[in-house]
Structures are given as C-alpha cells and as structure tokens.
Structure 1
C-alpha cells in the first residue's frame, strides 16, 4: 500500500476545477496573460499585529512608504481643461495635480513657498487661473513658475528664480494620474510592470467615473486593503455567493515587488457548496454587468454552461451600445481579475464590472482609514462625460443608501467593511503576537508585507 504524498509547503491547492481548467473551456481565445502563473512559497511566519495597531509603525510608513511610492491621485477627466486642479491627500502629505496652460499635467506639493500655507484645501478640486496663496497672496502660474509676490521690495534675499512651487513626479496610465513624492522614483511603467503588458492602458482610458464612493472605516488602512486581497473570506462573509463563486479555486499570482493578481472565477459553485446545481440554476442566480441589461429569461443550451451564456449575453448588450467585444474571452467578462499595485490600489480589468479600489489612512490616524471605490463605465463615443462626485459614507452608513448603487452589490460591500473594525480591535487585544496566513490563498497579503518590509527597513 503506497503512502500518501504530502505536498510541500505552498503546493497544496483546493480540489476541483482550477482557473486554468475553466480557461480550457472558454468559448473564445484566451489571452496569454491569463495563462501566466507566478507563485512561490514565501514562508509561513506570522505578520506582527503591531503593524496595524501602533502609531510607531504608522510613523515609519509616513516617512518611508507614502513618500516613496506611486499612487493614483485622480483621473484625467477630473482635470480636462487648463486651470483644473485636484488635491490628493495621504497622511501629512498633500499634492495639487494641475492641468497647465499647455495641456500638460503637473503636480506640486500643496504648500506655499512663503510660510508653508496650504494653497488649496484638502480633498478639493476646481479651476483657477493661477495658484494663489490665500494667506499673503503669493501667486504662481499654472506651470509652477512664480508669478508675483506682494511687497517684493521687502524680499531682497529671495531669488524668484528659485521660488517656483516644489514639483512632484506625476505620470499617467490608463487615464489615472499617478504621483510620487520621491526625488528620483522608478519610472511609473517600470513600477507597474507587468500590469501594462497584461492590460492595455486603453481598457481604462476609454471609461469614465460613473460612481465614486468614499467610506470611512474604523481600522488601519492595511486591514481594509487586505480584505480584498483574497477570496478565502467568501464562504463565511459572503455565504450567499457560494452557489456562483469558485472562491477556494481562485488563482493567485505575484510579480516583482509591486504587483499581485487574483483570478476569482464566477459562474461555478464553491467547492464548499453542498447543493447539486444545474447550469441553468447557476445562471438564474448569476448576473454580471448592469442588471437592467439582462433579459427576462436566459436559457443554458444543451452542453453549454452558465458562464458562456452570461458572457454572450453581455457581448450582445455591449454591441447594442456600439461596443464590439465579440472576441473577448468569457473569463474577461464574467470573472474578477484584480491587479493590486503596491501600496494601496487595486484595478479590476474585467469588462463587465471594472472597478478600482484605493485605501488610505484617514488623516494621521493609524486606526482609521478611507476606502475609495470607483465604478468605471464605457465613455460614449464623441461625448464628454463629467466624472461622478464622491459620495462620502460614515462608518455606520450603508453602501445600499448611495443613489444608483445596486442593492445586491451594496450589501456585499457592507459585508466586507463590516468585518474591519472587529479585525482592528481583535488585533489590539490578541494574546498572540501576529496574524497567521494561509500559504496560497493569502499569498498576496504576505507578498504585500514582504514589500512593505523592504520599504520600511531596507533603506
């Protein structure tokens, strides 16, 4: 009798159909980036709870993380015309993103060169003909050059040629404007690698912000972010999804220091679902995209699958609006394909529900966070669409109260954010020193912390 082979650490996978098995059954050609798998075992040490609970660790992040990483600040459509600006705030740092007279996008530290006054209010946006200090009236051109300072005769010691606003590195990918406060940062495309190789920038460029929700949370920003780095929580937190979500069969990958990915398959039941479901039953519970676009009744043909039917329905819906996605794979339509970019942003590349997350500390609080959720929709050809204004939710307020939010989707986000305060408070009172992670399903969390350690400790 042969002995049972015990897999090495990190090699175990949930039984059942894999992401790659489902890609084999796709009704269209599958792009190569979905076939690329990139996982390795990174150890099984606990993650110290002090990373979430102490002001000392937060201060290290302020000094060595937020000042040295690329973060998306706004979308290009937020600043379409010269003079349009958008203020991005992260911890103590505040950056003005400005469209200049030439149409270029510049970024500046939000601080007057006189006595340091903030030039624009935090979280503000608008349009101005110059950048003028509200305190003493020092004034700059949109490109950051000094324009005038009152009583110039009293500043003979000031070299106006050296009084331009402090520039901040900025660049654009996918319609997102990224900023980096570091003096000589890694180029954005190198930092994002391999995301630009996997996903064409145009996928996000040709969309606009249809919905923007900001949720205040009683937890460290990392606890908020990490809730969306794995599907391990689905069976407990979102048990209603188990009939149509292959949670434990999710594929996890990471690339270099800054990028990780999950492919969470939809249209198949969880391996933990005890019901025997037909493809038709799965389809009846399984919807992607706008629910208003779904016909009254969809039928799975003999030999077909719920995934294929739902993908084809979405292709037809998009065709009616002039969008040709006839050759886009089933997976890119129905599955959650999420790319995390260190330290605080996640981009979902699927065409049916393209959403983007961002997580930040709320002010200078180590135990409070702000979660930005934006929903992108295709921009109508030849039309200019104003981006949706942010809707701010307090901790106790539900996503389902946001105008235009699908109640079903809103409930899912309520479930996610509903765990976060308990996670923060539990970490503070824990009898053990750190969080224990799964070797595979929570590898993106571990990969994140490995990179975080490098930024904070290997300077």
Structure 2
C-alpha cells in the first residue's frame, strides 16, 4: 500500500496538561485479569509485526508469528503479494508449522492435508471416498488474516474490522517516508525472555530520563539533556523523542574532550580542534556535520541519505509505535525493539531486538549500536535466550539494551510493593502516562 497522509502537529510530550491523570497502579503489571483484558480488547484488535519482507523474498516463503496462544502464517504468493492465515488446519485444528521456511504449500503433519499457497485445500487423504459431506478439496481454506506491509515489515491483524495499517500507524509512515527502510540489513536478531511485564519495555522507551543513570555511555554521542530533545506524541498513542546526535553539554567527558564525536567529525573532513570551546565543538560541530554529510554522502557511498533531510542524517528520532513496537531511527541504523506477553504469566515477556544497518559501499562490517560490531550481512536465524540476570546474553553485557533489561526484574518486583501507588513523573516522562491512558481507552473500548 502506498498512501500519502498529512502529518498532524504533535502534542507536546513534555506537557502534562495533555494527560487525564490516570493512575499507573502496580496491578497492571501482574494481574492475570488485566492481562486477559489486554488479550480481549487490545491484542486481538491491533496490528502485529510478523517479520520482515526480506525474510520472504520468493513465492512459497513464509513467516510464522506465534503470539500468546495464537499463531499466524504469512506467505509470499506467486504474484508477489503476501497472504496471511491462522496456523490451524481446517480438518481438526492442528498447528501445522512451527517456524519460517519455504514450501510450495503447507502440509498438516497429522493427517497429511495439503494447502496451496493461497490457503486452499488441494489434497486430503481419501478425499473422494470417505467424506459423506463431500470432497473437502477446493472447498475448505485456511482461515485468512488481514495483512499488509510498511517499512520493510509484514504486519497482520486478527480484527476484520480494524482500521487499515496506515491509519493505525498514522502519522508514522508519513514521518519516516524518507528513510529507505526496506533496504536495511538485519545484522542482529535476538528474542530474549525477561522476568517483567511487557509494558515495562514500552514505558522504558517512552522516556530518556533514565539515561544519565542507566546508560552513562550515551551522552558522548546523543544529547538527551532535558531541554535538548523534542518530545512528541499523537492521539493514537504513537510518540517519539527526537534526539540530537551530538555530545551532551551536561555530562562532559573527563578531560573535557570527546574523542567519539571528534572521530565522527574527522571522518567527514571536519577538524575537531578548530573549535574554541566545548560548546562550539558540540553545537557548531553538529551543524558543520550536517553540511558535510549533505555535500559528501554520494562520494562516500551513503546512498541512503539521498532523500533524508538535515535532521535525519544527524539525529535520532527514537519512536514508540503503540502499543509494543519501538524503532530507533539513526542516520545509518534502524533498531527494532518489541515486547510481547508470555502466554501464561503476566510477569514475564519476550523482548525482541533486531539491529539493522543501511548498506554503505565498501563496508563489510558495521556498528550495530546495541550489540557491537557485526558483519554487514543478513542474520539467518533468531537467537532465543533467557536473560537470566544477564547470564543468558553475556555478549551483550555493557550494551544499552542489556542495561535496560538489568532494570526490568526489580521494576517488576516493585509493582507488588504496598509502598507504590502511582508514578510521580517528571515532565519529560509525560509519554509514559499517556501510553497507559491510550491503553486504558482500548481496554474500555473508548478508542
């Protein structure tokens, strides 16, 4: 689908007057009744990401996305389109496939029923002689699920009456139309089990107030000072923090010289020592970097910059898409985060981390931002891990995402305390409460 939309002006994500003031009580994070309500009123109605279009380039390639007790297959068709079906045999409900693959059709492992790529049953054992109700072939089909694509991702919804994908995501597709998202290469692919409710992840990515405490390595290259970034949110629950990728003026490095930013400037032909003060180095250097990138992107092979504006080639709009998808847009990287609830325990969830990089001519290795240096090639399989206090992903130790996961379990424990009744939020955490208010609207069917 290619649909153009006007971007409505955002609400100020630092203005608590945009809030009703709904309480963030602890039971939201551990109540099984609350989790059931989320399934009934939220998860069965929103759009989910099944995977990436790059994962299913050829006819017969398919994705399998398991969510709670449901499972959906998204399959590439002969004409290049994608169709989605529930992963449930029309015979007796058997779940037919467990993981993504490529086939000419789908065969149920129980009784051998075979479905063509379009979901139509085309073979059943004893079809002509043993069905008094009539031969099921050509008559039965896998139950379809609505699907669509945006940003190089395959999306689906279980709700036949849901708004179309672009309306659900509005205004994100228009905001990020200049990023060639489909060309990004996934260089890191993790699914990590953590002992926290799924909402901890959305809460965490809806504010940068925790950065100075939890991520001391961030200030040298992303300025998240209280007044530096724009905090934006829209009525459907989507929001972003637009962060300048320049040194913080508050958290200055020991010795007063930022080697990381200096190295970036040098790469783009700028002498970092020409600035007379640290403030000029950070602020004017950032402006000079914009000009240098615009002048040199083609000769340096940064072809993905072609349609991106000055802000996009030097800054990071860290973006939450309601309710559970976050994408960090960086000049040379896309980082996809997602949390999904555990099928049985609301105090657990799965955390997905996909690091993607835009190809640059001559590069065969990239900085994945969240997982260190990686080869610039598609990772073929997902790493399934338990966080286990960090022991399950030792290779991520010290990375930003690892530091976030370290906080999750104690945050979850704190929700049970009689000492916690509601959050006392800074203005820059306005989007945290706004997320919960939009969630409440879905659960009460006010949306």
Post-superposition shift, 1:378? 2.2
- Aligned mates of 2:261, 2:393 — CA distance in 1: 20
Relative to the length of structure 2, the TM-score reads 0.82
Counterpart position of 2:404: 416
Contact 1:173 1:201 in 2 (8 A): no
Indicate whether 1:155 and 2:143 are aligned.
no
- Aligned mates of 1:417, 1:337 — CA distance in 2: 21
Post-superposition shift, 1:296? 11
Which of the numbers 255, 272, 287 marks the counterpart of 1:299? 272
Counterpart position of 1:38: 11
Post-superposition shift, 1:333? 2.9
Relative to the length of structure 1, the TM-score reads 0.80
Contact 1:213 1:373 in 2 (8 A): yes
Q: What does 1:23-422 correspond to in 2, within 5 Å?
A: 37-39=10-12, 41-121=18-98, 124-152=99-127, 153-157=129-133, 160=136, 162-200=139-177, 203-244=180-221, 245-249=223-227, 250-269=229-248, 271=250, 273=251, 281-282=257-258, 284-286=259-261, 299-302=272-275, 305-308=284-287, 311=290, 316=296, 319-321=299-301, 323=303, 325=305, 328-379=308-359, 386-396=378-388, 397=390, 401-402=394-395, 411-422=399-410
Contact 2:316 2:331 in 1 (8 A): no
Counterpart position of 2:434: 447
Which of the numbers 436, 450, 453 marks the counterpart of 2:424? 436
Post-superposition shift, 1:159? 7.1
- What does the per-residue CA deviation read over 1:308-343, in whole Å, with 9 as the maximum and x for residues that have no partner? 455567665774235263784453233220221111
- What does the per-residue CA deviation read over 1:48-95, in whole Å, with 9 as the maximum and x for residues that have no partner? 211101111111112221110011111111011111111111111110
Post-superposition shift, 1:276? 9.6
Indicate whether 1:458 and 2:435 are aligned.
no
Gaps of 5+ in 1: 1-32
Post-superposition shift, 1:399? 8.9
Post-superposition shift, 1:142? 0.6
RMSD (Å), alpha carbons: 3.2
Post-superposition shift, 1:447? 2.0
Aligned pair count reads 411
Distance 1:360 1:37, change over 3 A: same
Contact 2:320 2:326 in 1 (8 A): yes
Gaps of 5+ in 2: 1-5, 362-375
